[in-house]
Amino acid sequence: MESVKDFAKAKNQKLALDCYSKLDGIKTITSATICEAEVGEKSSSAGKALNIKEAFNRRKQQLIQELKDRRNNLIAKEQQERNVEDGRRTKAEKELLQQEKEAEEQRKHEASVATELSSGINLNGITERKTIESLLRTLKRWVENLNGTIGAPETEVIKSRFVQVYFALKAKEKQPWLQKLKNDIPRLSAFLTKDQIADIEQHLNTLE
């Protein structure tokens, strides 16, 4: 229509346009098309829902695995700390046992020394010629029974025993015995140190 008058004229003549769906270039929408569209929308929604569910499950599994890893790490760390603590405890126990063992060995040694020294040095009836031989036998026994060491206590026993023997001798026997002993004292170097021998020699000088 070119003007409003044309529209009024067509209306008076009860004319009408064809249905819109019959016009050129118009695509009609049937119920089937509507159904297809709805199905498409539903499929799309279902796909989206499925993707969301899968993503949720993946995230869930990821979180579960992270929790497991964290728990395993904590367990491993605690075990490592226990191992370190057990190692320290074991080391301390070993050191304590070693100290107790050494203390027990020291007590046994001291008891052995006391027993050995209590037996003294048998110089009774020994002439000046054989005094040093008897002493050497005693020192050899001491070395065997005292773990190879002769210390200050043993040296004091030797000096004390010499004094006892000296004063038990007759007057005419004292000087020969003492002189012979001084000459033989260096032979004790097989068992005594230079300082111990010097100490004994100095002690013998006090007897003159």
Residue 195 has pLDDT above 90, yes or no: yes
94: left (phi over 0), alpha (psi -120 to 50) or beta: alpha
Assign 118 a pLDDT band (cuts: 50, 70, 90). Answer: very low
pLDDT for the residue 23: 61
Domain enclosing residue 95, as ranges: 52-118
147 and 81, same structural domain? no
129 vs 184: CA distance, rounded Å = 9
171 vs 148: CA distance, rounded Å = 37
Residue 155 has pLDDT above 80, yes or no: yes
184 vs 45: CA distance, rounded Å = 119
> Given 102, 118, 134, which residue is the final one in a domain?
118
Copy the structure tokens of residue 17: 């346009």
125 and 88, same structural domain? no
pLDDT for the residue 124: 46
pLDDT for the residue 21: 60
125 and 183, same structural domain? yes
> What's the Cα-to-Cα distance from 42 to each of 32, 49, 51, 54, 170, rounded to whole Å?
15, 10, 14, 18, 136
Q: Is residue 83 part of a domain?
A: yes
Residue 183 has pLDDT above 60, yes or no: yes
Burial category of 64 from C-beta neighbours within 10 Å (exposed 0-12, middle 13-18, buried 19 and up): exposed
Least confidently predicted of 83-97, 103-117, 156-170: 103-117
Copy the structure tokens of residue 154: 């043993």
Confirm whether pTM is higher than 0.75.
no
Q: How many distinct structural domains can be found in the chain?
A: 2
125 and 185, same structural domain? yes
pLDDT for the residue 131: 74
